[in-house]
Structure 1
Amino acid sequence: MTPLVTAAVLLAAVTHAAWNAIAHKIPDKLVGFTLISGGGLLIGLALAPFVAFPAGEAWPYLLASAATHIVYYALLMRSFRLGDFGQAYPIARGSAPLVVTVLAAVFAHEVPDGWGAAGIAVSCAGLTGVALWGLRGHRPNWAAIGAALATGLTIAAYTVVDGLGVRASGSSLGYIAWLMAVQGTVVPAYAVTRLRGRTAAVLRPHLGLGLPGAALSVMAYALVLWAQTRADLAPVAALRESSIIVGAAIGAVFFKERFGAPRIAAAALVVAGIGLMLHAH
């Protein structure tokens, strides 16, 4: 993790929290994710002629990642419908590095040491706090928590798949361009079948938010994919999820969500655990 790689991943963390906040702000989640996914498709197609075509051995990973991203979008939409941004985002993002650490050990032979194990334990404690603290006697929204945890599993899956794929591709820019182009067709196509003749009219009022969100989304993931060609998968995934703190701040400031001291402490605990995982490498 050189200073340049670290800076790239931290920038990815901020841009990622920003595009997720944009997706959450658009009231109709299908509209928001159609614009972000469709915008990614347009950016990928515009970029593709100017970058190297991914090597053949990268395509199984790219196609598997595209399929996983579709499931990820569906679960993230559900998480944002059911729960607060300040709850759903930290759970989804914070759970991913824990799973990535295990998957990277199995599939990429990148095994954490004692620091990594400690980081997993601390992050798990923090995630529990983000999910459950500050409820003031109310029952937890298990549907929202479950959707957010499932989202975290898909994040972990595509992180490892893309880490292996981009290393095999020969070009991180070529990989991101074609990944955006392939995965960006599905959500807009679904929206067109749902909205039929109303598609343009429904999407138009939200273009000013959705298209910048798409640009931030592509930028965030392009930075991560480049970093994965320069460093191990687990620490990149762990450092990227410092976006949890950014997400917590966005939830409190822009969505006026009552995050409260307990959840702030719990989110900080997640990031502390991620820091331990990062130290492990």
Structure 2
Amino acid sequence: MDLQLSLLVLLAALMHAVWNTLVKSSGDRLIQLALLNLVSAVVAVFAIPWVGIPDPASWGYILASIIIHTAYYLFLLQAYRFGDLSQVYPLARGVSPLVVAVLSIVFAAETLNAGQLAGVLVVSVSVASLAWNGRWSQRDEMKSILFAVATGFMIGGYTLTDGTGVRLSGNALAYIAWLFALDWIPFAVIAVILRRRSLGQGVRDQWRSSTLGGILALAAYGLVIWALSLEAMAPVAALRETSVIIAAVLGTVFLGEPFGFRRVVAAIGVTAGVVILRLAG
């Protein structure tokens, strides 16, 4: 992966960490995510006349990605319900490179060299150490871990789906625009059903942060999809997960969450695994 592309993926990691922090700090995270997705969709719709329509071969992947994304949002909300950002976010993001690596080997015929395999293993061990804090017997703690891991699997699933779909689309920008233009619909329906009475007030309270978050989310994942069209999936997915460090710092600085020695070591370990994957690529 060349330097310019690597820097763009790192920028995507920063933007992703910021919008996740906005969701964590919002009054109603379900409404926040629904609004955020709506903003992304509006921007994408305006882009469609300029970018065109992706190849028909990619439409099945767009629809599959929308389904997986919806599950991802629901798992993420549940994980944040029971755990804090500096635990949930690194765990979910740390699991995903392992999932992408395995799925890309099985379904996309990609290969891992020894260095890339070592990087995946380092990330996995670091994630395990992050999950362990001596309180697994506490119900909320265990729920947080399970939902975070499930979120990581969803991330891996939609990364593989979009990585494959964008390569079949013939036009990465068209794939990105149509994905975001449609992705908001199922989650918006869920939000309306679950928040009928509080939706209006939630929109009034959170539209500003949702506007920023929606733009960041579109830019962040759009950059990642574009990178997936050019490079092997596992290294791109791994490099993106440098966002774990940013998210942990943001959670501590802005949300008052603890950042003890264990999380420092685990976050460094995840980053080390990402670096190994990057250098081995």
Q: Alpha-carbon deviations, 1:57-81, whole Å to 9, x = none?
A: 0101111001100000100111111
1:239 is aligned to: 239
Distance 1:203 1:72 in 2: 22
TM-score (norm 1): 0.95
Counterparts of 1:208 and 1:93, CA distance in 2: 26
Residue of structure 2 equivalent to 1:16: 16
Look up the equivalent residue of 2:228 and give its one-letter code.
Answer: Q
CA offsets per residue over residues 171-221 of structure 1, 9 Å max, x none? 111111111111111122222233336422321111111111011000000
Q: Which residue is 2:167 aligned to?
A: 167
184-193 or 203-212: bigger deviation: 184-193
2:126 matched residue in structure 1: 126
C-alpha contact 2:28 2:202 (8 A) present in aligned 1: no
Q: Match of 2:25?
A: 25
Partner AA of 1:61 in structure 2: Y
**In structure 2, distance between residues paired with 1:151 and 1:68:** 10
- Which whole-Å CA distance do the structure 2 matches of 1:197 and 1:269 have between them? 44
Distance 2:239 2:36 in 1: 24
Taking the aligned partners of 2:93 and 2:248, their CA distance within structure 1 comes to 12
Secondary structure, aligned partner of 2:256: coil
Percentage identity across paired residues of the two chains: 38
Gaps of 5+ in 1: none
1:208-247 to 2 correspondence within 5 Å?
A: 208-247=208-247
| CA distance, structure 1, for counterparts of residue 19 and residue 255 of structure 2 | 14
CA distance in structure 2 between the aligned counterparts of 1:64 and 1:173, rounded to whole angstroms = 18
CA contact (8 A) 2:136 2:142 kept: no
Instruction: Note the C-alpha offset of 1:139.
Output: 4.4
Asked whether the equivalents of residues 97 and 237 of structure 2 are also in contact (C-alpha less than 8 Å), the reply is yes
1:280, distance to aligned residue in structure 2 (A): 2.5
Quick one: distance in 2 between partners of 1:205 and 1:41? 20
1:1-281 to 2 correspondences below 5 Å: 1-133=1-133, 135=134, 139=138, 141-196=141-196, 198-281=198-281
**Structure 2 SS opposite 1:257:** coil
Deviates more, 1:154-163 or 1:116-125: 116-125
Deviations 1:30-58 (A, max 9, x none): 11111111112212212112212111001
Q: Is the 8 A contact 1:112 1:280 kept in 2?
A: no
Gaps of 5+ in 2: none
State the distance in 2 between where 1:224 and 1:9 align.
6
Distance 1:57 1:217, change over 3 A: same
**How far, CA to CA, are the matches of 1:167 and 1:239 in structure 2?**
20
Pick closer, same or farther for the CA change 1:117–1:182 going to 2, 3 Å: same
| Alpha-carbon distance between aligned partners in 1 of 2:230 and 2:52, rounded to the nearest angstrom | 18
TM-score (norm 2): 0.95
**Count of residues in Structure 1 that have an aligned counterpart in Structure 2:** 280
- Name the aligned partner's letter for residue 126 of structure 1: S
Return the alpha-carbon distance in structure 2 between the equivalents of residues 137 and 195 of structure 1. Answer: 32
Q: Which digits, 9 at most, give the CA deviation of each residue in 1:79-99, with x for residues without a partner?
A: 111101000000000100011
The range that moved more, 218-227 or 189-198, is 189-198
1:6-36 alpha-carbon deviations (Å, 9 max, x no partner)? 0110000000001111111112111111111
Q: CA deviation at 1:250?
A: 0.7
Superposed displacement of residue 136, structure 1: 7.8
Which AA in structure 2 matches 1:88? V
